[in-house]
Structure 1
Amino acid sequence: MFALIALTASIVAAPAAAQERADEGAERAVAFAPKQATVGVADYGPFRVLDEKRAALVDVTDAATIADFEAMLRDHPGIAILELVECPGTDDDSANLKLGRMIRARGLATHVPAGGSVRSGAVELFLAGKRRLIDDGAEFAVHAWRDSDGREPADYAPDSPYNRAYVDYYREMGVAQPQAFYDMTNAVPNADARWLTAQDMRRWVGEARDGDVTVAAPQEQSPSIAYLDLGSRFP
């Protein structure tokens, strides 16, 4: 996988707490113990520019993240790799899926390094990578969404716009079994989470370690869930 280089010595600020509801879109975030703050060349919202080719995502995304992403690539057009380091999820699912489509349109690779954590709505951003790379020791967490009325995916028809938005996105991102992947994430209620290893996620997305990428040694984690929440509207 892509070499982590100096990233291991400089990882992330504590995630922002999710609000009770979101006016612009659904919220999905799984909190985690904070790590060291990432020091980069420049900061753009939840992004840290690491060098001329790499940026890291280190916090919750929201409606403002789209403008942050555009500004980052305007100022640093050579960025080709997005390192997903400490990614609790999103405060705005609608904006999050738009951001994922922008990542794919720019042809960026997504890379989860050893010790990297991609949770809830951030999984959609990982899937957006034109090339998706996972180091041993990376972790993922998924769970069902819940709207402001307390409803979860099973409370809506399978072909409702709320459910279709995610299946269509997974299909667009090239997930081999988009419906099965969505069903897997929704098999866990919003009040809980399913933790997936690097090997688990590789099986779902059909990606394996690449020979030209350095793979860091696995790191054991003892994750804890501090909050899980959703808002009301969907794309």
Structure 2
Amino acid sequence: MVAAARLFAILCTALLLIAAPAQAQLLSVETWIEEWDPGSQQWVRVGADDAVPGADRLVPARAKPQAEAIATYGPFRVVDSTRAEMIGVTDRQSPAQFRAMLRDFPQLRTLSLVECPGTDHDIANLAVGRMIRAASLETHVPAHGSVRSGAVELFLAGERRRIDDGAEFAVHSWRDTRGREAGDFGADEGANATYLAYYREMGMNSGQARAFYDMTNSVPHADARWLTAQDMRGWIGEAAVEGLVTAAPKIAYADTGYLDSALVLP
């Protein structure tokens, strides 16, 4: 989870010279917040002027039938004492919501990702993923379940991962509020290093983490690469040769017309 945040302020002084001996000073203040990212072991600058890399990393929502919930914590819905569902987007509040759910329902064993468009806050999203792994939860995508963009990281967090036939996944590059994407940085710089570290935490070796991350960035942020249940099983399967998945999954389909008209962009 996000362990800490710190506030910075810089006073920028511009001297306005006038004819008289006296001088006037014009002061402006720039402020921002930095949050600690445990994956990259560095402070990440966030705030109105420079959001977390990949903020608003979404592929649009689609309506899904919902089982009756006995308790709700943001996008997390408890179905019974051992099962919860996720329907919706993670944001800055999601780690606290997820922690409260685990506190109130300590017997939870399975998190089903039903309709998961992505995240509004990447650092918080990865914090939830680490909580899923620490709690030894199984992640499950039911038939017709849809796990897209930042929600894929949550699926990977499961100690055991289960995908029903008919499930779908979508991946694409993250993009920050300055329009920069993964390819605009060195392979091990900034957010790229953060994601590679996260995939290793979730059980991939260095070669698998690199191959999977390269696949997710094979399409730009404004598009999406769609994967079937079988495709994703190939990426999380046990078969590997020298750290690389033996058969890279193919694009299942790309509904680009739908995406172009409906993507939620920063």
Q: The TM-score by the shorter chain falls in which range?
A: 0.7 to 0.9
Q: Does residue 75 of the first structure (1) align with residue 111 of the second (2)?
A: no
Which residue among 127, 146, 167 is the counterpart of 1:138? 167
User: Any gaps of 5 or more consecutive residues in structure 1?
Assistant: 1-19, 209-220, 231-235
Return the TM-score normalized by structure 2: 0.70
The 4+ residue runs of structure 1 with deviation greater than 3 A are 20-25, 221-224
Indicate the residue corresponding to 1:95 in structure 2: 124
Describe the SS at the equivalent of 1:50. strand
Indicate the residue corresponding to 1:109 in structure 2: 138
Task: Give the counterpart letter for 1:199 in structure 2.
Answer: Q
Q: Does residue 185 of the first structure (1) align with residue 216 of the second (2)?
A: yes
Identity of aligned residues (%): 60
Please list the CA deviations of residues 1-58 of structure 1 after superposition, one character each: whole Å capped at 9, or x if unmatched: xxxxxxxxxxxxxxxxxxx988456231101322334421111110110011000000
Using the TM superposition, give the Cα deviation of residue 63 of structure 1 relative to its aligned residue in structure 2, in angstroms: 0.9
Describe the SS at the equivalent of 2:80. coil
Indicate the residue corresponding to 2:156 in structure 1: 127
Return the TM-score normalized by structure 1: 0.79
Task: Give the counterpart letter for 1:36 in structure 2.
Answer: P
Task: Give the counterpart letter for 1:158 in structure 2.
Answer: A
Indicate the residue corresponding to 1:205 in structure 2: 236
Alignment CA distance shift 1:204-1:34 (3 Å): same
* Count of aligned pairs between the two proteins: 199
In our comparison, the structure showing a higher alpha carbon Rg is: 2
Higher strand fraction (1 or 2): 2
Task: Give the counterpart letter for 1:188 in structure 2.
Answer: V
Indicate the structure whose relative CO is greater, using CA pairs within 8 Å and at least 6 residues apart: 1
Indicate the residue corresponding to 2:177 in structure 1: 148
Alignment CA distance shift 1:68-1:59 (3 Å): same
Cα pair 1:190 1:228 within 8 Å, conserved: no
Using the TM superposition, give the Cα deviation of residue 171 of structure 1 relative to its aligned residue in structure 2, in angstroms: 1.2
Cα pair 2:51 2:176 within 8 Å, conserved: no
Cα pair 1:60 1:87 within 8 Å, conserved: yes
Task: Give the counterpart letter for 2:214 in structure 1.
Answer: D
Using the TM superposition, give the Cα deviation of residue 116 of structure 1 relative to its aligned residue in structure 2, in angstroms: 0.4
Partners of 1:150 and 1:222 in 2: how far apart?
Answer: 22
Describe the SS at the equivalent of 1:56. strand
Which residue among 188, 197, 201 is the counterpart of 1:168? 197
CA RMSD of aligned residues (A): 2.2
Using the TM superposition, give the Cα deviation of residue 207 of structure 1 relative to its aligned residue in structure 2, in angstroms: 6.4
Cα pair 2:167 2:228 within 8 Å, conserved: yes
Using the TM superposition, give the Cα deviation of residue 162 of structure 1 relative to its aligned residue in structure 2, in angstroms: 1.6
